[in-house]
Structure 1
Amino acid sequence: MRADRLVSLVLLLRQHGRMSAAALARELEVSTRTVLRDIEALSAAGVPVYAERGRHGGFALLPGFQTELTGLNHDEALALLVAGSRRGAQAFGLGSALASAMRKVVDALPESYRATAAGAAQRLLIDPETDLLSRRVVDEEVPDAVVAEVRRAVFAGHRLRIHYAAADRSPTWRTVDPIGLVTVRGQGYLLATRSGADRTYRLSRVLAAEELDEPAQRADRVDLDRAWQERGTRFRAGDDQVTVLVRLNPARRENLVGTAVAVHAEDADADGWLRLEVAFQDTRHAEWALWQLGASAEALAPQWLRTSLRDRAAAVAATYAVLPADDRPEV
């Protein structure tokens, strides 16, 4: 379990003092990248780990630091591993466990560090609920009972039966082999296989879940980063993907590129505007992306997209052509 590795990392630093990431990786039998992620999780949880640069540098705990980690239960230790993202803990149903674990960590800090840690925590804000434009980040809500059942099956390595409501389809029951859980911008996903084929399920669409006694058909070890990237690549190259030729005001380039799946070609017109060939996930995605850009972009092809945007703009113009009767000024 990663929770055991987190405890082992702290104990190694307490026993050996300063250690390099490579040395910690050898002791823990993981990659240096995993060690760095664990160090970040510990720091986010208030454990005073610091880095020293240079040839003989490495990671160490502040002198005199003592803590009793055995007081953490399984869910609390697990919550610390996602402490770098409060939204991650919420998405996996670990919000209350994270709060409890943090209280224990703070309580275990030496008296001289508690006030300093509390003051420093007030100077940091991670994943606020709104951005600078006051756009609210909406976290998907998943019933605790559902996400807890999914989580148990993932950790126990058991098959999972879920009542799943796919987009635009009636809910159906299906049995899957769970691989792992991923959270992205407040949205939780279950990575699994079904009849040997890769599947990705949004947790917010899981209406009910039941852990089965059967062992899941899956590898003993998994690289979730790689698995997520591979599924993302396949998703972006799906059968519904559409390619659009766009004429664009260069000031809005980042807006378009930021939402497109891929940019296949890009040139500049004589008037300074850009001409791009971009791919979108599907027809709805293409129409939405171009509509957001208003008069700063023109879809040159395909024709169905031009027609759709024209009809949409005409409907909006007609709506605002005449004031509602109650709002017309008196003559």
Structure 2
Amino acid sequence: MRADRLVSLVLLLRQRGRMTALELAHELEVSTRTVLRDIEALSTAGVPVYADRGRHGGFSLLPGFRTELTGLNHDEALALLTAGTGRGEQVFGLSAALASAMRKVVDALPENNRASLDDAARRFLVEPETDLLSRRLVTEDVSREVMGEVRRAVLHGHKLRLQYAARGAEPSWRTVDPIGLVTVRDRTYLLATKSGQDRTYRLSRVMAAKELPEAAARPAQADLDRLWAERSARFLSEDHLAVLVRINPARREELLDSARGVRAEESDTDGWVRLDVSFEDLRHAVWAIWRLGTDAEVLAPESLRDALGERAAALHARYVHSSDTVQIASTRTPMIHRGTGH
């Protein structure tokens, strides 16, 4: 790990010029004391790192120490740099590793390609934090320690001890056999088995994790696409409310953001979309559909149609009464004004 950090330090100085110990520490996610030790180690090894004293000082690297990356064309390099600019860099807790890899790619590119590729990569934006309606994308928080332990157990093929807080339950410990990690819409899931039974754990609900030395009981090869499809289908068939709804295509994503899952989708005759979706329960479905107003129409179940109709009737009754009150008050106001001499 220290060798990788020393390489990253050299690449940072090559690409950015003079940097302070504090700036280097922030980029490498270590302390300034560690940076100073690394600088000393590089100097001892003959790497020409020197310090500029004074208010605007820092560490610099003399020109040199570069190799060109051969066999990588312009579009391939652009694809790597663009991937490194997106929010996906946080996936599986590998942001620091991705940043280090990007520095190595940039440093290894021929000099005449670097400037044009840097400008090109800045013209692509992958997964911004908000959409066109200024709705912020919610990224679930998973601690670095938990992610690190889970990732190591998955890669090493070891059993994993989890303290997990299931929905509506107190946190409890369990030992599982990890199979793989899946990230969907900024949520990360652990696919595993427990006592031979399939289990799926949402990492944001893992309070603590510990990789165990025992080998996990799992197949040698894992087809995560197939496993995820099977578990998704099983999840959607469990105790949830199935809803058939017609919706204006412009509001489709808004509905999917609040639904638990999508069973089927097809175009309707009038340009709208017909969706078979699932919700936690009737209350969840009423809340999600009500927000769409007249841009959605529930076709089934009848219990949801009744609940929405009752809510609409109650709202209509309230505002009809309110409108009558306002009208009566407005007719009386001139009489009051005349009586007071205004």
Q: TM-score, normalised by structure 2?
A: 0.61
Shift of 1:130: 1.1
Tell me what 1:115 maps to: 115
Shift of 1:299: 3.6
Q: How does 1:238-249 map to 2 (within 5 A)?
A: 238-244=237-243, 246=245, 248=246
Percentage identity across aligned positions? Answer: 53
Tell me what 1:148 maps to: 148
- For residues 256-275 of structure 1, give each alpha carbon's deviation from its aligned partner in whole angstroms, at most 9, with x where no partner exists: 9855623499987xxx7989
**Counterparts in 2 of 1:83 and 1:227: CA distance versus 1, 3 Å:** farther
* Letter aligned with residue 240 of structure 2: Q
Q: How does 1:308-323 map to 2 (within 5 A)?
A: 308-310=307-309, 312-313=311-312
Which of 268, 276, 279 is matched with 1:278 structurally? 276
SS in 2 for 1:177: strand
Counterpart CA distance in 2 for 1:99 and 1:172 is: 35
Tell me what 1:293 maps to: 292
* Letter aligned with residue 282 of structure 1: E
Counterpart CA distance in 2 for 1:250 and 1:197 is: 41
SS in 2 for 1:183: strand
Say whether the 8 Å CA contact 1:267–1:274 is kept in structure 2. yes
Which is higher, the Rg of structure 1 or of structure 2?
2
Shift of 1:296: 3.7
**Counterparts in 2 of 1:141 and 1:254: CA distance versus 1, 3 Å:** closer
**Counterparts in 2 of 1:113 and 1:305: CA distance versus 1, 3 Å:** same
Unpaired stretches in structure 1, ≥5 consecutive residues: 1-46, 50-59, 67-79
Say whether the 8 Å CA contact 2:191–2:201 is kept in structure 1. yes
SS in 2 for 1:124: coil
Tell me what 2:172 maps to: 172
**Counterparts in 2 of 1:265 and 1:115: CA distance versus 1, 3 Å:** closer
- For residues 13-59 of structure 1, give each alpha carbon's deviation from its aligned partner in whole angstroms, at most 9, with x where no partner exists: xxxxxxxxxxxxxxxxxxxxxxxxxxxxxxxxxx999xxxxxxxxxx
Counterpart CA distance in 1 for 2:308 and 2:204 is: 31
Counterpart CA distance in 2 for 1:299 and 1:210 is: 46
Counterpart CA distance in 1 for 2:276 and 2:85 is: 32
Say whether the 8 Å CA contact 2:187–2:202 is kept in structure 1. yes
Counterpart CA distance in 2 for 1:106 and 1:266 is: 46
CA RMSD across the alignment: 4.0
Q: How does 1:185-200 map to 2 (within 5 A)?
A: 185-200=185-200
Tell me what 1:228 maps to: 228
Tell me what 2:38 maps to: none
SS in 2 for 1:161: strand
Tell me what 1:62 maps to: 73
Tell me what 2:263 maps to: 262
Shift of 1:289: 3.8
- For residues 63-85 of structure 1, give each alpha carbon's deviation from its aligned partner in whole angstroms, at most 9, with x where no partner exists: 9x99xxxxxxxxxxxxx8x9468
Tell me what 1:306 maps to: 305
Q: TM-score, normalised by structure 1?
A: 0.62
Counterpart CA distance in 1 for 2:305 and 2:108 is: 63
Say whether the 8 Å CA contact 1:241–1:279 is kept in structure 2. no
Say whether the 8 Å CA contact 2:149–2:210 is kept in structure 1. yes
* Shift >4 Å, 4+ stretches: 82-85, 248-260, 263-268, 272-277, 310-323, 328-331
For these two proteins, the number of residue pairs brought into alignment is 251
Unpaired stretches in structure 2, ≥5 consecutive residues: 1-67, 324-328, 338-342
Say whether the 8 Å CA contact 1:85–1:127 is kept in structure 2. no
